[in-house]
């Protein structure tokens, strides 16, 4: 897949972009700005920005969510791309749901809390989340991602359907993500990191923490046991939409006991694997005198408090951050940015852009993303702390497992 990184590698200089207000023109300009980036167009059902995020938040049904969330056609929120990019904050979502549904929405608040948990683990562990957090509890495969998976040609209607959802829209129901991850890691013996990186590149809501750590939870390098499923489970929660007409030999059609025997060897478990992370290319930075507000991809809201400042405000499509994103996600981000009228949009290396603008001080929202910290390492940076869900201070022990996190945070979240 051609990526934004390959565009940058063509020595295209940093430049200021002009995003059109008209949606059709805007998407066309993104295609023109990034002609080598592959992927489907952004679906009409996924327009980015705070306006759409607030509309969706207002329609969330906290009563139905807990009863139907595991079904592919269940009443889920579909807020994940908007939370991921900061169109609305997680605290806003919590407060809105609590105000309307109270404890009836406990299951939804519980699931929202997973997003905060992954984020807190990223703050604590940094790039370590991209390697095995723990030794696997069963033997794992370390194979490359096969072409039949990349092209949705596995011959299994369910898996090919989930892959096509990912490639066409960038959105996949959480239960389908778990089924697919288990299939790739446990049935096909694909290296979890190879699969997770490919998946992240296509997701509309791609978040390195939730994506990487969720794949590790499935693989059991960040959990006590591997996650897997059987045909009965998939058929039930997909309303047999794939199974009814399937003529393939089903690899999932057995009891959990038999599948466990077939899939897992707990007598030959490997040590935790560390994956190499390529360092950023060096760029000479120049200390200027100007204060710049850097808007990054976790704070794409016109309501963000840093946008009230009088300083110049910029967003940079930087290959170091967005180099593997598909076209539909770049278009989603463009939707978000068009609502942020005072923010200049650039393409290039963030450090080169800051050099051109004479930056001496940078102000931005705090982030667990180590790449942003490296990009800003030569500047004086003020990080505005994210608004916490509660005043509770978490320790590394609290973040060892979500159950420990929830034991400490749950009461305060449910009874603020």
Record the tokens describing residue 340, joined without a space: 């942020």
What does DSSP say about strands 15-17 and 343-347: parallel, antiparallel, or unpaired? antiparallel
Can you tell me the distance from the alpha carbon of 129 to that of 344, in angstroms, rounded to the nearest whole number?
Answer: 32
- Annotation-wise, does 301 bind a ligand? no
Can you tell me the distance from the alpha carbon of 180 to that of 198, in angstroms, rounded to the nearest whole number?
Answer: 13
- Annotation-wise, does 205 bind a ligand? yes
Residues with Cβ < 8 Å from 190, sequence gap 6 or more?
A: 141, 143, 144, 145, 146, 149, 184
- Annotation-wise, does 398 bind a ligand? no
What does DSSP say about strands 380-384 and 359-365: parallel, antiparallel, or unpaired? parallel
Consecutive H or E run containing 347: strand 343-347
- Annotation-wise, does 253 bind a ligand? no
Residue 28's nearest CA partner among 334, 234, 392 is 334
Helices 327-338 & 23-33 angle (0-180, nearest 10): 130
Residue with tokens 């406990």, as numbered in its chain: 106
The b-or-e profile of 203-239 (16+ CB within 10 A means b, else e) is bbbbbbbbbbbbbbbbbbbbbeebbbbbbeebbebbe
* Through-space distance between the first and last CA atoms of the chain, rounded to whole angstroms: 46
Residues with Cβ < 8 Å from 318, sequence gap 6 or more?
A: 348, 349, 350, 375
- Annotation-wise, does 77 bind a ligand? yes
What does DSSP say about strands 359-365 and 312-317: parallel, antiparallel, or unpaired? unpaired
Can you tell me the distance from the alpha carbon of 296 to that of 198, in angstroms, rounded to the nearest whole number?
Answer: 22
- Annotation-wise, does 265 bind a ligand? no
Residue with tokens 């092209």, as numbered in its chain: 151
User: What is the sign, positive or negative, of the torsion defined by CA atoms of 302, 84, 337, 60?
Assistant: negative
Residues making up the annotated binding site for FAD are 65, 77-80, 205-207
Binding-site annotation, residues? 65, 77-80, 205-207
């Amino acid at each position: 897949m051609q990526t934004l990184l390959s565009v940058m590698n063509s020595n295209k200089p940093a430049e200021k972009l002009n995003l059109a207000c008209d949606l059709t023109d805007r998407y066309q300009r993104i295609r023109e700005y990034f002609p080598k980036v592959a992927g489907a167009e952004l679906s009409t059902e996924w327009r980015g920005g705070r306006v759409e995020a607030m509309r969706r938040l207002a329609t969330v049904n906290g009563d139905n969510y807990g009863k139907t969330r595991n079904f592919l056609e269940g009443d889920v929120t579909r807020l994940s791309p908007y939370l991921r990019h900061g169109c609305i904050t997680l605290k806003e979502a919590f407060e809105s749901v609590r105000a309307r549904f109270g404890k009836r929405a406990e299951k939804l608040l519980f699931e929202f809390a997973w997003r905060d948990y992954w984020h807190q683990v990223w703050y604590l562990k940094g790039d370590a989340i991209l390697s095995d957090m723990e030794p696997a509890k069963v033997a794992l495969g370390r194979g490359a991602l096969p072409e039949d998976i990349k092209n949705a040609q596995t011959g299994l209607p369910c898996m090919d359907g989930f892959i096509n959802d990912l490639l066409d829209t960038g959105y996949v129901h959480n239960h389908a993500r778990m089924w697919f991850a288990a299939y790739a890691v446990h049935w096909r013996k694909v290296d979890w990191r190879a699969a997770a990186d490919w998946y992240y590149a296509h997701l509309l809501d791609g978040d390195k923490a939730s994506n990487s750590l969720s794949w590790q939870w499935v693989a059991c390098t960040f959990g006590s046991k591997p996650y897997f499923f059987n045909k009965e489970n998939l058929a039930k929660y997909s309303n047999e939409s794939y199974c009814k007409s399937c003529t393939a030999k089903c690899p999932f059609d057995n009891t959990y006991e038999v599948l466990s025997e077939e899939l897992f060897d707990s007598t030959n478990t490997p040590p935790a694997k560390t994956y190499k992370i390529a360092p950023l290319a060096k760029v000479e930075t120049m200390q200027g005198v100007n204060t710049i507000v850097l808007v990054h991809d976790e704070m794409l809201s016109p309501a963000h408090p840093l946008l009230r400042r009088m300083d110049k405000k910029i967003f940079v499509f930087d290959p170091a951050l967005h180099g593997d994103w598909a076209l539909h996600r770049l278009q989603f981000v463009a939707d978000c940015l068009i609502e942020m009228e005072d923010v200049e949009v650039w393409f290039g290396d963030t450090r080169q852009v800051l050099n051109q603008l004479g930056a001496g001080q940078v102000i931005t929202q705090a982030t667990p993303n180590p790449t942003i910290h490296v990009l800003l390492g030569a500047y004086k940076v003020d990080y505005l702390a994210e608004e916490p869900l509660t005043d509770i201070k978490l320790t590394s022990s609290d973040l060892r497992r979500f159950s420990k996190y929830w034991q400490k945070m749950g009461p305060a979240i449910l009874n603020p």
